[in-house]
Amino acid sequence: MFKYLSYVSHQSHSLTDAALEKILSRARLKNEAEGITGMLICYEGLFIQFLEGEEEKINELFDKITSDQRHNQILILDDGYSETRKFGDWSMAFEKLDHKKAEKIIGFKEFNKKDLFAEAKDEDHPALQLLQSFVNDL
């Protein structure tokens, strides 16, 4: 049984593509060593992330994320347990989206950052739909 957790957070400051690549490289190595898989989406100053793995490892990682100064206003979108992984082949899949690409993927005409901080724990939540669109394409 695997624990999964998805959240959205504001980035505390703008990150360059080089800085994002450095973060991803480190995260992928650590996640692989810890048996954690998932996906990170960067969208207009936000992080949208889905994590899955052993419960203890996910809890430890999320504790680190919540104390990481690169994140503000962290909102848990969904968490629970699953028999299977959604991102089993990815130590950390990554996608950097702009507004037009996000709209095209999930089909919203007026997709905006405010929507991503709407009511959590709702399978119709825009951020969860966005993550699910990548699961469906794997």
> What is each CA distance from 35 to 91, 116, 123, 130, in whole angstroms?
8, 28, 26, 24
Q: What is the mean pLDDT of residues 104-120?
A: 58
How far, in Å, CA of 111 to CA of 103, rounded?
6
For the stretch 68-92, pLDDT in tens is 888 888 888 889 999 999 888 777 8
Q: What is the pLDDT of residue 124?
A: 64
Higher pLDDT pick, 74 / 54: 54
Q: Name 61's Cβ contacts closer than 8 Å, sequence gap at least 6.
A: 34, 36, 51, 53
Using a 10 angstrom Cβ sphere, with 0-12 exposed, 13-18 middle and 19 or more buried, the burial of residue 40 is: buried
Residue 31: CB atoms within 10 A of its CB come to: 20
Contact 138, 123 (CB under 8 A): no
Identify the residue with better confidence: 108 or 126. Answer: 126
CA distance between the termini of the chain: 21
Average pLDDT of 114-127? 61
Spatial distance between the Cα atoms of 51 and 49, rounded to a whole number of angstroms: 7
Alpha helices in 1-138 (DSSP H): 17-34, 55-67, 99-106, 113-116, 126-137
pLDDT score recorded for residue 113: 58
In this predicted structure, what is the pLDDT of residue 81? Answer: 95
Mean pLDDT of 25-50: 90
Instruction: Give pLDDT, residue 138.
Output: 47
129: tokens are 């739909």
